[in-house]
Amino acid sequence: MKRAKRIATIPPYLFAEIDKKKQALQQRGVDIISLGIGDPDLPTPAHVVEALHREAADPATHRYPDYEGAPEFRQAVATYYRRRFGVELDPDKEVMALIGSKEGLAHIIWAFVDPGDLVLVPDPAYPVYRTHTLLAGGTPVYLPLRAENGFLPNLDEVDAEVAKRAKILFLNYPNNPTAGVATVEFFQRAVEFCRRYEILLCHDAAYCEMTFDGYRAPSVLEVPGAMDVAVEFYSLSKPFNMTGWRIAAAVGNSEALRALGIIKTNTDSGQFTAVQRAGIAALGDRAESFIADMNRIYRRRQDIAVAGLTKVGLAVERPAGSFYLWVPVPDGYTDSEFTSLLLEKAGVVVVPGTGYGASGAGYIRIALTISEERLQEACDRILQTVKL
Ligand X SMILES: *Cc1c(COP(=O)(O)O)cnc(C)c1O
Ramachandran angles phi, psi of 217, nearest 5°: -80, 130
Question: Is residue 126 near ligand X by the rule CB under 6 A?
Answer: yes
Of the residues 44, 176, 211, 276, which one makes contact with ligand X according to CB under 6 A: 176
Residue nearest to ligand X (CB): 100
**For the window 246-285, what string marks contact with ligand X as x by the rule CB under 6 A?**
--x-------------------------------------
CA dihedral of residues 122, 125, 129, 130 (deg, nearest 10): 80
Assess 96 for contact with ligand X (CB under 6 A).
no
How many of the other CB atoms lie within 10 Å of CB of 49?
15
Instruction: Pick one of 34, 44, 219, 243: the residue that binds ligand X (CB under 6 A).
Output: 243
Taking the complex as a whole, the smallest distance from the CB of residue 77 to ligand X amounts, in Å, to 13
Please give the Cα distance from 108 to 201 (Å, whole number).
Answer: 11
Q: How far is the CB of 99 from ligand X (least distance, A)?
A: 8
Give the integer Cα–Cα distance in Å for 288 and 270.
27
Torsion, Cα 196 200 203 204, to 10 degrees, reads -160
Regarding 36 and contact with ligand X (CB under 6 A), the answer is no
Q: Which is nearer to ligand X, 175 or 302 (CB)?
A: 175
* Stretch of residues binding ligand X (CB under 6 A), selected from 95-103, 209-217, 327-335, 377-385: 95-103
E-strand spans in 22-129?
Answer: 33-34, 95-98, 118-123
Can residue 237 be called a binding residue for ligand X (CB under 6 A)? Answer: yes
Nearer to ligand X, 142 or 333 (CB): 142
Is residue 241 a contact point for ligand X (CB under 6 A)?
Answer: no
For residue 44, the minimal CB distance to ligand X (Å) is: 13
Binding segment toward ligand X, per CB under 6 A, in 65-73, 96-104, 130-138, 162-170: 96-104
Q: Which of 61, 235, 241, 354 binds ligand X (CB under 6 A)?
A: 235
| d(C-alpha 118, C-alpha 111), whole Å | 14
Q: What does the radius of gyration of the chain's CA atoms come to, in whole angstroms? A: 21
Rounded CA-CA distance 163/147 in Å is 24
CA distance 168 to 158: 13
Choose the binding region for ligand X from 73-81, 114-122, 236-244, 372-380 (rule: CB under 6 A).
236-244
- DSSP lists the bridge partners of residue 121 as 142
Pairing of the two strands 363-367 and 324-328: antiparallel
Applying CB under 6 A, the residues found at the interface with ligand X are: 38, 100-102, 126, 172, 176, 204, 206, 235, 237-238, 243, 248
